[in-house]
């Protein structure tokens, strides 16, 4: 496409390819700052799979920070936050550091719909039935080509187009890692045997077969997970016969399964994009990283990428971003994805039925009785343990701040507009010429043990102290030149 592209002024600030959870979240974040956003989505209908995902603590906090939590809670079921690391059944440690210390089970198509609605309410333009097939960039912008030959232009483009990302491939960004070694079948169906029979069989098998379950899902439907015989073509849905065969192989019976609602298969490929940015094009979500679904982290990770990138890309478009700001997206999020990939690799080993991994699993199960071990693992899975490297400073620097009581109500209630926030317990600090980008709350009673604290729009602590000059340096570091 390169030679045919005509450069010129862009009619959109940002084009997002893919309206999955990552793309929709990013579109909304950009709209908070008035950025003109066009989202291109190839599908015309909502997804047909009913994959139930878990929104973990940090994602629920993000929803609270943007005023979306009540909407999301209406559609999901709250469950305890514990028991997610390698499906080892341990309750969450006492006093998890969050006002939202639970997991929300919610169907993925519902969370996608809610996020897309939110983006549209904020003014994002979403076009379905648009498949991106080509792209080219120049000094001023990016041109995309659609399957129907149409060309569109924007100043920046973000590929949120999932694991098989066309954008990543067109950029030639490497995606190193491991191919899938084992596939798992997953679906919802009815069974032909009594519940007692299932309970006994599943309990026995569950001691060693951690990639197998058969759980009642309500209204006579069962959720079934069983290892597949071989790595297959994941574009092709499995058949009910395949489920029956695999259930017989693993459990000695197919439980008389019938009347499937949906059937799917997933692999355990683990890959991470070499870079998240190539000029004016960025990658986020599954387009940038894939890993097995154990621990339920993929969607959460993508939504959190979008939350990190949104305000930075908006600052770039609006012209107030300090030079390295956009590149902090990769600097901060690439290591987080590396860590998630590693923890899923470790969890997959712990699911093996081989004696060695089983012994390690028993040992880890014992270790998780130590509060600190259990806490460490949960903080990893829920992402509340993430600490970005903002340089030397107190432990809170670079971490997200939990939702705390402030005199105006709850802290997260003050972050709905996606702006920075100075929390000033000294009552003598100022945001000066940054008042158009950063709010200030003077509150000596705020429930945090520091004199002053600067929060970025993503809720991470960018500065701690009581010295105005030092604060000004940090405001400039994150929010650019002061106005006037
Ligand atoms: C069985 C299973 C269970 C899971 N459970 C969990 C869980 O509990 N918790 C969790 O956090 N994650 C879970 N995941 C992972 C989660 O589903 C993904 O990480 C998540 O969907 C990634 O979101 P995304 O927006 O980055 O990509 P996607 O959801 O893949 O969205 C990409 C979008 O881009 C569109 N697109 C693709 N190519 C183009 C193109 N060329 N032009 C235009 N549009 C395009 C697609 O149609 C799609 O809508 C699970 C995954 C599986 C397989």
For the stretch 252-288, pLDDT in tens is 999 999 999 888 888 899 999 999 999 999 999 999 9
Which atom of ligand 1 is closest in space to residue 53's alpha carbon?
8
Top mutation candidate among 1, 56, 114, 299 for ligand 1, by most atoms within 8 Å of CB? 299
pTM over 0.85: yes
The two three-digit tokens of residue 140, written as one number = 């001023």
CA of 184 to the centre of ligand 1 (A): 17
Which residue is listed with tokens 């574009």? 235
Strand order in the sheet with 289-290: 177-178, 270-272, 289-290
Paired strand residues for 189: 222
Please name the residues in contact with 127: beta carbons below 8 A apart, sequence gap of 6 or more: 38, 39, 40, 41
The residues near 263 (Cβ < 8 Å, ≥ 6 apart) are 185, 186, 187, 189, 237, 238, 239, 240, 243
Phi-psi region of 259 (alpha: psi -120 to 50; beta: other; left: phi over 0): left
Beta-carbon contacts of residue 234 (< 8 Å; ≥ 6 apart): 183, 265, 266, 267
Atom of ligand 1 nearest to the CA of 167: 41
What span, in angstroms and rounded, lies between the C-alpha atoms of 212 and 470?
A: 55
Q: Ligand 1: which residue has its CA nearest to atom 26?
A: 285
Task: Return the best residue to mutate from 16, 17, 18, 272 for the ligand 1 pocket (most ligand atoms within 8 A of CB).
Answer: 18
Length of the chain: 484
Shortest-distance Cα residue to atom 38 of ligand 1: 161
Q: Tens of pLDDT along the chain (484 residues)? A: 543 445 666 789 999 999 999 999 999 999 999 999 999 999 998 776 666 678 999 999 999 999 999 999 999 999 888 888 998 988 988 889 899 999 999 989 999 999 999 999 999 999 999 999 999 999 999 999 999 999 999 999 999 999 999 999 999 999 999 999 889 998 889 999 988 888 888 888 877 777 788 888 777 888 898 999 887 777 778 999 999 999 999 999 999 999 998 888 888 999 999 999 999 999 999 999 999 998 899 999 999 999 999 999 999 999 999 989 999 999 999 999 999 999 999 999 998 888 999 999 999 999 999 999 999 999 999 999 999 999 999 999 999 999 999 988 999 999 999 999 999 999 999 999 999 999 999 999 999 999 999 999 999 999 999 999 999 999 999 999 999 7
How many separate helices (H) and strands (E) can be counted in the chain? 12, 24
* C-beta neighbour count of 367 within 10 angstroms: 12
Q: What are the structure tokens assigned to 136, written together? A: 């080219």
Are 399 and 390 spatial neighbours (Cβ–Cβ below 8 Å)? no
- Name every residue whose Cβ is closer than 8 Å to that of residue 122 and which is 6 or more positions away in sequence: 27, 28, 31, 32
Question: Reduced to 3 states, what is the DSSP secondary structure of residue 311?
Answer: helix
Token pair for 161:
């187009």
Cα-Cα end-to-end distance for the chain: 43
23 Cα–ligand 1 center, Å: 10
State both tokens at 312.
């930075």
> Which residues have CB under 6 Å of ligand 1?
17-23, 40-43, 51, 53-54, 108, 131-132, 160-162, 166, 186, 266, 285-286, 293, 296-300, 302
Q: In ligand 1, which atom is closest to the CA atom of 131?
A: 42
Provide the CA 59 distance to its chain's centre, in angstroms: 7
CA of 19 to the centre of ligand 1 (A): 9
Helices (H), 172-252: 195-206, 240-251
Probe residue for ligand 1, chosen from 1, 44, 51 as the CB with the greatest number of ligand atoms within 8 Å: 51
């Amino acid at each position: 496409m390169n030679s045919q592209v005509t450069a010129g002024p862009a009619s959109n600030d940002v084009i997002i390819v893919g309206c999955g959870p990552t793309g929709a979240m990013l579109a909304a974040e950009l709209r908070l700052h008035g950025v003109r956003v066009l989202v291109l989505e190839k599908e015309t209908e909502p997804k047909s799979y009913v994959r139930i995902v878990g929104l973990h603590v940090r994602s629920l906090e993000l929803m609270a920070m943007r005023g979306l939590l009540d909407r999301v809670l209406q559609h999901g079921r709250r469950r305890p936050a514990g028991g997610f690391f390698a499906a080892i059944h341990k309750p969450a440690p006492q006093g998890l550091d969050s006002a939202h210390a639970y997991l929300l089970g919610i169907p993925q198509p519902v969370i996608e719909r809610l996020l897309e609605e939110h983006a549209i309410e904020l003014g994002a333009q979403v076009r379905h039935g648009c498949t991106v097939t080509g792209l080219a960039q120049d000094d001023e912008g990016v041109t995309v080509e659609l399957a129907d030959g149409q060309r569109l232009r924007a100043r920046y483009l973000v590929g949120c187009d999932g694991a098989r990302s066309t954008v990543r491939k067109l950029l030639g960004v490497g995606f190193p890692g491991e191919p899938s070694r084992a596939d798992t079948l997953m679906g919802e169906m009815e069974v032909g045997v009594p519940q007692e029979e299932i309970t006994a069989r599943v309990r026995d098998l569950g001691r060693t077969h951690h990639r197998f379950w058969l759980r009642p899902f309500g209204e006579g439907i069962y959720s079934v997970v069983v290892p597949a015989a071989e790595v297959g073509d994941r574009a092709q849905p499995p058949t009910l016969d395949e489920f029956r065969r695999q259930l017989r192989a693993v459990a000695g019976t197919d439980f008389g399964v019938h009347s499937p609602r949906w059937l799917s298969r997933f692999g355990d490929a683990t890959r991470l994009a070499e870079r998240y940015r190539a000029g004016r094009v960025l990658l986020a979500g599954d387009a940038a990283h894939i890993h097995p679904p154990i621990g339920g982290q993929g969607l959460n990770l993508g939504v959190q990428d979008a939350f990190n990138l949104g305000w930075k890309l908006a600052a770039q478009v609006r012209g107030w971003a300090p030079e390295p700001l956009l590149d902090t997206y990769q600097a901060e999020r690439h290591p987080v994805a590396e860590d998630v990939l590693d923890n899923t690799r470790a969890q997959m080993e712990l699911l093996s039925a081989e004696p060695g991994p089983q012994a390690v699993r028993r040992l880890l199960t014992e270790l998780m009785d130590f509060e600190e071990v259990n806490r460490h693992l949960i903080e990893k899975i829920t992402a509340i343990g993430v600490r970005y490297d903002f340089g030397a400073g107190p432990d809170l620097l670079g971490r997200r701040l939990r939702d705390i009581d402030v005199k105006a109500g709850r802290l997260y209630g003050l972050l709905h507009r996606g702006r920075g926030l100075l929390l000033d317990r000294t009552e003598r600090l100022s945001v000066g010429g940054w008042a158009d980008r950063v709010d200030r709350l003077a509150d000596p009673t705020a429930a945090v043990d520091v004199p002053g604290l600067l929060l970025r729009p993503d809720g991470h602590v960018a500065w701690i102290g009581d010295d105005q000059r030092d604060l000004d340096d940090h405001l400039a570091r994150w929010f650019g030149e002061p106005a006037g």
